Amino acid sequence: MIENKALDITVPFKRSDYEVRPEWIDHNGHMNVTFYLEAFDHNIGDFFGSLGLTKEYRRAENVATYCGDFHIHYTRELFKGTRLEITCQLVDFDEKRIQLCQSMYNAKEGYLAAESEVIYLHVDALTRKVASMKADLFKKVKLTHEAHKKLGRPQQQGRTISIKKI
């Protein structure tokens, strides 16, 4: 269960201790698309941990999170050894889903390298079906959303992919 402590909500959630690993570099000499997803996913795991949605919680409550949809928009290259800062904003939720927007930056130079939008499903691990969150987790998600709402709507939220005809 999530402990009932005073909430320490970071707005937005942010980690600056990630780094582009040598094995993430592709034949073009920059970070391969696969590893943007990996870096974003690590950040989501850290964010979920801040909500109390940890491995221990999942085991105790027989729940899991499944990715329902994940979009990445690449804006600039990243190279081996680059320190990353990734922010995560909880933009929407209901009893069974959490929607997040993330931004990945070159921490030293400050430029935006990529953005993501993702929807995670809260799943009953025994039935493997989408299920409502337990009340304590739902309350923390709701309080975090209230804090993150003050940031406004991220520009990548709801972005569609298309080729614009001129």
Bridge partners for 148 per DSSP: none
pLDDT digits (tens, 9 = 90+) for 53-109: 999 999 999 999 999 999 999 999 999 999 999 999 999 999 999 999 999 999 999
Q: What is the mean pLDDT of residues 160-164?
A: 83
* pTM for the structure as a whole: 0.89
13-149 architecture in CATH?
Roll (3.10)
Domain boundaries, the chain: 13-149
Nearby residues of 13 by Cβ (< 8 Å), 6 or more positions away: 43, 46, 47, 50, 87, 88, 89, 90
